[in-house]
Amino acid sequence: MKPLSIRLGDLLVEAGAQREDVERAAEKGDGKDRLGERLVRSEAIDEHALYRALSRQSGVPLADLDQVLTEADPALIKRVSRRFLDTRRMV
């Protein structure tokens, strides 16, 4: 997957977010949080839509944790807690 040189807001609009919501969230930026966080907080997009857009933008595939865990080595799964993976958003 190749990284894209497209702005996150444009990717979110392409994925169905309202342009007005994206522009409003971008204008409210104060440097303390990020555009995607503001859009999720305002419920303009859901968290999964943000992750999909970030995945496309960065070129890093998005993995479904449940699918990864079913395909992973059981010995490895026993060594790493689900809570750890969830809180660190490692997968």
List, for residues 50-66, the tens digit of each pLDDT value.
Answer: 999 999 999 888 888 77
Q: Which tops the pLDDT comparison, 32 or 46? A: 46
- What gap in Å lies between CA 59 and CA 40, rounded to an integer? 21
pLDDT over 80 (residue 44): yes
- What gap in Å lies between CA 84 and CA 6, rounded to an integer? 32
In this prediction, residue 18 has a pLDDT band, given cuts at 50, 70 and 90, of: very high
Average pLDDT over residues 4-19: 88
Report the share of the chain in percent with pLDDT over 90.
Answer: 25
- pTM, 2 dp: 0.68
pLDDT over 60 (residue 91): no
Contacts of 75 (CB under 8 A, 6+ apart): none
